Structure 1
Amino acid sequence: MRTIVITGGTDGMGAALARHYLAAGDRVVVIGRSRAKFDALSASNAAFIAADLSLVQDSRRAIDQLRQEHDRIDALVLAASFIRQRRHVTTEGHEASWSLFFLSKYLFVTGLADLLTAADKPVVVNTAVPGARADAIDFDDLEMADGFTFRRSNAHQRRANELLGILATKQNPALSYITWGPTRLVRTSFAGEVGTGMKVAAAIMAPLLGQRAEDAVRPIIGLIDTPTPGRAAYRGAKPRPLTVGAHDEQDAARLGTGVEANI
């Protein structure tokens, strides 16, 4: 029996993956904010950890619990999402989108590294859409105190998650680390603090053009079930080229040093 850990596993694509692996007989750990949504999964071989992953302390608490209760993690799916169009600072003093979409992922990947190493074919699927420019990160302002825009923040996080794969696979060459995004809209509840325009677009476009979460995650299931060591990027089932910068190794190390100094 494999152990599958899914952040954001109470809704959308995360919940679709949880249902699939529970039906397959795997042990699934769901991390999310809603106990009620978890209970709707109705499976005895599932465990729930309540956490707001925009808070570093909640991420660390969840990681500690996973380490206490498991000696191996076969697959780690990082799918938690909450969209904010404006800069927001958490009670801990971190920019909320950076904290949710990168700091939590950094903590899970590094904090669970030995449990992933203990698996025969470990895999991390990071639902950070690949393809951000190599220069998308401002290393002198990781939390974007100056010049924040939704577009810059999104590219900033996505590139950081690609660089995280360099750190993760350097530590564990057997690890499959995948940055992944769907090919098109997914029909799911829209969690976030956004303007009217984005709300209306999501409400209209997703039902018309979006795919079911169960269909969207099929490529992820294939990547988890037949992992290949090393880094890779996908949109749906289609491989995408990894972004290559002039100083990727140095940038990854600089990112890790900057994060460790501030959490």
Structure 2
Amino acid sequence: MRTIVITGGTDGMGAALARHFLARGDRVVVIGRNRAKFEALVAGVTRGTPSAASRAEFIAADLSLVAESRRVVDHLTAHHERIDALVLAASFIRQRRHVTPEGHEASWALFFLGKYVFVTGLAARLRAAGHPVVVNTAVPGARPDAIDFDDPGMTDAFTFTRSNAQQRRANELLGLLATRDNPALTYVTWGPAWLVKSGFAGDVGLGMRTAATVFGTLFGRRPEKAVAPVIDLIDHPAPGRAALRGAKRLALGGARDDKDAVRLAAVVENSL
């Protein structure tokens, strides 16, 4: 029986993955903020697969806080000998700069610092699996110069576009660090090929919220269809680092990647 860990697993694509792997007979650990949604998800699967409830675990956490990510990693390390797949799908969109009680810029903390803690903190448990996989739902393809190494919290000139690009670039480099540490690891930065019908969690303006709701409703794919490439990645891992939009592979690698990955790790370790 595989152990699948999913952050943001109570809504949208994360929930679709949790339902799939529970129905398949895997052990699934969901990290999120809403236990009621988790219980409804499990109840739905249990109607067709009675054993699902015994293989489902929920850990309540606010992953915009680094301390919470560390607490979850400690719990997973204490209770699971190995982790076969780690899906990093937690999301909360912020259009404006926000600082957490820990002093980190909130989007940087949720979309990168917490993921860094998960990937590095669970490295031994991933290494214990035969064919470990990390799927990071950070849409690939950010420009190489997207990270402000001197000010990753963007205290000056914060914009949603700059913040989004920085997170995406950082998560690509995290894959370089992770696969160096564990050559057997499959690490994929992945984004859906098209809009997905799912709940929209975020602190954004009316325009962005309305556009996301309307276009998602009219043109979005159901989460169950959107995550089919992710399921294939977990079922058929290929060690190394990759980037995909839907099922389409994108080019990775550049002249500055190695240097930037080392620099990023130093910046993050100094800030945590």
Partner SS state of residue 58, structure 2: strand
Residues 153-164 of structure 1: matches in 2 within 5 Å?
153-164=163-174
Separation in structure 2 between the aligned mates of residue 203 and residue 227 of structure 1, nearest angstrom: 34
Q: Matched residue of 1:178: which SS?
A: strand
* 1:246 match: 255
Aligned to 2:245: 235
Post-superposition offset of 1:216: 0.4
Q: What do residues 128-170 of structure 1 show as CA deviations (whole Å, max 9, x unaligned)?
A: 0000001111111111111100000000000000000010000
Counterparts of 1:77 and 1:200, CA distance in 2: 28
Offset of residue 203 of structure 1: 1.7
Matched, 1:197 2:207: yes
Separation (CA, whole Å) in 1 of partners of 2:152 and 2:211: 30
- Structure 1: stretches of 5+ with no match in the other structure: none
Query: 2:47 matched to which residue of 1?
Result: none
Of 250, 263, 266, the residue aligned with 1:257 is 266
Counterpart in 2 of 1:123?
Answer: 133
Q: Quote how far apart the aligned CAs of 1:199 are.
A: 1.0
What is the aligned partner in structure 2 of residue 38 from structure 1?
38
Secondary structure of the corresponding residue to residue 77 of structure 1 = strand
Report what 1:62 is aligned to.
Answer: 72
Structure 2 CA distance for aligned equivalents of residues 152 and 93 of structure 1: 19
Q: Is 1:53 paired with 2:63? A: yes
Alignment of 1:1-263 (within 5 A): 1-42=1-42, 43-44=52-53, 45-242=55-252, 244-263=253-272
Q: Deviations over 1:68-119 (max 9, x none)?
A: 1001000000000000000000011100000000001000000000000000
Q: After superposition, give the CA deviation of every residue in 1:10-53 in whole Å (9 maximum; x if it has no partner).
A: 11000000000000000000000101111112241100000000
**Structure 2 CA distance for aligned equivalents of residues 248 and 96 of structure 1:** 25
Structure 1 counterpart of 2:24, which letter? Answer: A
Shift of 1:245: 3.1
Letter of the 1:206 counterpart:
G
Q: How many residues align?
A: 262
2:41 counterpart SS class: coil
One-letter amino acid matched to 1:253: V
- The CA distance in 2 between the partners of 1:72 and 1:204, in whole Å, is 41
User: Structure 2 counterpart of 1:37, which letter?
Assistant: K
- What secondary structure does 2:100 align onto? coil
> Which residue identity is paired with 2:152?
L
What is the DSSP-based 3-state SS (H/G/I as helix, E as strand, rest coil) of the residue aligned with 1:124?
strand
After TM superposition, the structure 1 stretch with the greater mean CA deviation from structure 2, 155-164 or 195-204, is: 195-204
Deviation at 1:246, TM superposition (A): 2.5
Structure 1 distance, partners of 2:241, 2:210, is 36
- Counterpart CA distance in 2 for 1:220 and 1:24 is 15
Cα distance in 1 for partners of 2:166, 2:214 equals: 28
Q: Aligned Cα RMSD in Å? A: 0.7
TM-score (norm 2): 0.95
Identity %: 71
